[in-house]
Amino acid sequence: MALSEKSSSELSSFLQTQRTAYDELVAQGLKLDLTRGKPSAAQLDLSEELLSLPHGHAAADGTDVRNYGGLKGLTELREIFADLLGVEVDQIIAGGNSSLTVMYDTLVQCLLHGAVDSERPWSQEDKVRFICPVPGYDRHFVLLESLGIEMITVPMTQDGPDAAAIAELVKDDPSIKGMWVVPTYANPSGAVCTQEVAAALTSMPTAAPDFKIFWDNAYAFHHLTEEETKSADILSLAAASGHPHRPVVFASTSKITFAGAGVAFFAGSSETIAWFVGHLGKRSIGPDKINHLRHLQFFKNADGVREHMAKHRAIIAPKFAEVQRVLTERLGEHDVATWNDPAGGYFVNLDVIDGTASRVVELAKGAGIALTPAGASYPHGDDPVDGNIRLAPTMPPVEEVTAAMEAVATCVLVAAAEKYSNAT
């Protein structure tokens, strides 16, 4: 029976039962963590060979990778990820250990110098605004906030950002300079941006002549099922619709090899690459090409990456399955939450009754379960309905995922029963 249909006395009894369960939970003194999308030690172990690579120190063209230079990164590694991301090798460069930093640098270049197709630096505009599909990735929002860029939210659908809403916003407002998308297995909704939505975003008229799609393909290869969803070919779509410089594409091996010591990639039109590298050359003499060679020797080729990702799937898919099992068994009958069953990525998006997300997180904390702060998936951490919670089950061992999710379910039920009790 849905909780909302219970009588007042049924509700009271239900709340009592759940509070007892919660008290027992607290008494267990758990210390579990579902906050961050971090790989587990078992996943990191898959790349242990990297620690004793590379053998030798020469690139295919004889370049000594130990020395300075090579702003675009090791060509052979760029070739692998060009293949995987469906771009040309001259449309991609390999950088340091963090795609987040590359995103920041891209924004700073736009602010200080303007994008490749800007009339002037963005900092000379009266106002710069970005469209943020929500729920979305908190660090994207923090970047914008720290740079004084205003955020306008639009809904994230299961097919990607709400393209119609975006088209309506951007057509007359030149202050809207860009938007975020995590196109494949979005953080946190798991949504995959369809070819149709991507085509709508690349072709829509924008008042800003230099409108940018920040296409953060962080989970492009992070499949949780045997069906390996292909990302929309954003660069080709953009070129075909006459806006070749609109997308700037980010990716990394942070959740493929080592989260702290992977390789980040930046892709775009050849002109966008030249623009980026032109500014990059002022602040860098080149990336860590030894780490590039290390990754090249480890992967060997694009299939090496795909095979490696299948090993990740074998480790983390059971954890995601456990999240689904517990949520379904514990919450299904009560109609107090909805959640997605992602086909890839790192997160499960849990929507609870409006006004209870913060309470769930608070209750969980009281029971020793660390959850991402409610609202984290919204700009400024502000979820207008206080209903969204992001779950990250990759890091803990599966038995801890089970225990944590059982606890989360109890907290959701307590918060929901409290809410309905107060309302009646």
Q: Which residues bind a copy of itself (CB under 8 A)?
A: 36, 38-39, 41, 44, 47, 51-55, 57, 64-70, 96-98, 100-101, 103-105, 108, 111-113, 123, 139, 142-143, 146-148, 254, 258-261, 279, 282-291
Residue 111 or 238 having the CB closest to a copy of itself: 111
Quote the least distance from Cβ 420 to a copy of itself, whole Å. 39
Residue 108 or 167 having the CB closest to a copy of itself: 108
Residue 259 or 363 having the CB closest to a copy of itself: 259
Residue 142 or 302 having the CB closest to a copy of itself: 142
* Cβ atoms 403, 25 nearer than 8 A: no
Quote the least distance from Cβ 302 to a copy of itself, whole Å. 23
Residue 124 or 225 having the CB closest to a copy of itself: 124
Q: b or e along 183-214 (b: 16 or more beta carbons within 10 Å of the residue's beta carbon)?
A: bbbbbbbbbbbbeebbbbbbbbebebebbbbb
For helices 195-203 and 163-170, the axis angle rounded to 10 degrees is: 0
Task: Report the alpha-carbon distance of residue 128 to residue 178 in Å, rounded.
Answer: 9
Q: Which two tokens stand for residue 29?
A: 């003194």
Quote the least distance from Cβ 372 to a copy of itself, whole Å. 14
Residue 160 or 188 having the CB closest to a copy of itself: 188
Quote the least distance from Cβ 362 to a copy of itself, whole Å. 25
Quote the least distance from Cβ 96 to a copy of itself, whole Å. 6
C-alpha distances (whole Å) from 8 to each of 4, 24, 333, 417, 420 are 10, 24, 18, 10, 9
Residue 97 or 118 having the CB closest to a copy of itself: 97
* Cβ atoms 235, 269 nearer than 8 A: yes
HEC secondary structure over 52-99 = HCCCCCECCCCCECCCCCCCCCCHHHHHHHHHHHCCCHHHEEECCCCH
For helices 75-85 and 289-299, the axis angle rounded to 10 degrees is: 60
The residue type found at 265 is F
Quote the least distance from Cβ 260 to a copy of itself, whole Å. 5
Quote the least distance from Cβ 103 to a copy of itself, whole Å. 8
